Amino acid sequence: MDLREALALIDKAVPLLPRPGQTQHWADLGCGSGLFTTAIARLLPAGSTVYGVDTNPTLPHSSSIIPIKADFEKDSLPLNNLDGIIMANSLHYVKDKPALLQKLRSYMQPQALFIIVEYDTDQPVPRWVPYPVSYVSLSKLFPHTQKLGERPSVYGRANMYAALAIPHPFPDNHL
């Protein structure tokens, strides 16, 4: 997947983001090389910050992207008051998803959002997708979800989807 495809997968989230037009602070958990870190940074208002968290982040530091070397599941993270968290192909490595989501909410503002990008399957692939989370399964983890986009996986087993996940009651201006 390239940046254009990543942007197309998540760009429908822009009108639903908290505090439209104001700078925002997001984290990309399990950011790897930073494809979705860069994508969300491009979609946020100017002056916003995205923290790219990974055990070995390989993304460049810039004024809008700040790498953090950490294990988002095991480590305490130096984050607070986040407007959102994006997790692209990283939630499927987490066995106890409810415990992780509870931990992550402590880093977020009350009206913050999650953007999740995952394979739409519940069939594990032991090494690469040990704890999959289909869109149906994601809908059971969050009170509210909305699919933002979908595309075929290059691995051919299941489509990839992007979803906006809201861990709190909807405010009037959402969905």
97: domain CATH number?
3.40.50.150
Percent residues over pLDDT 90 in the chain: 78
End-to-end CA distance of the chain: 28
Q: Is the pLDDT of residue 155 over 80?
A: no
Q: Is the pLDDT of residue 174 over 80?
A: no
> Could you tell me if residue 60 is inside a domain?
yes
1-10, 14-23, 112-121: least confident range: 14-23
> Could you tell me if residue 115 is inside a domain?
yes
Dump the DSSP string for 129-148.
BSS---HHHHHHHSSEEEEE
Quickly state the pLDDT bin for 61 (edges 50, 70, 90): confident
> Could you tell me if residue 162 is inside a domain?
yes
Quickly state the pLDDT bin for 167 (edges 50, 70, 90): confident
Token output for 24 = 């925002």
26-45 pLDDT per residue, tens: 999 999 999 999 999 999 99
Selection from 122, 126, 155 nearest residue 136 by Cα: 122
Token output for 107 = 């880093």
Cβ contacts of residue 157 below 8 Å, gap of 6+?
119, 121, 123, 125
- Looking at the structure of the chain, the number of domains it has is 1
> Could you tell me if residue 175 is inside a domain?
no
Q: Work out the average pLDDT over 45-54.
A: 96
Contact at 8 Å (CB) between 91 and 115?
A: no
User: Of 174 and 125, which is predicted with more confidence?
Assistant: 125
Contact at 8 Å (CB) between 166 and 140?
A: no
d(CA 170, CA 73): 26
> Could you tell me if residue 174 is inside a domain?
no
Place of tokens 């861990």: 167
Q: Work out the average pLDDT over 138-161.
A: 88
> Could you tell me if residue 171 is inside a domain?
no
> Could you tell me if residue 89 is inside a domain?
yes
d(CA 158, CA 154): 9
Token output for 51 = 């923290």
Q: Is the pLDDT of residue 103 over 90?
A: yes
d(CA 18, CA 84): 8
| Structural domain that includes position 68 | 3-12+23-166
- The confidence score (pLDDT) of residue 173 equals 45
**Pairing mode of beta strands 160-166, 144-151:** antiparallel
> Could you tell me if residue 109 is inside a domain?
yes
Cβ contacts of residue 14 below 8 Å, gap of 6+?
43
Contact at 8 Å (CB) between 115 and 163?
A: yes
Q: Work out the average pLDDT over 83-105.
A: 96
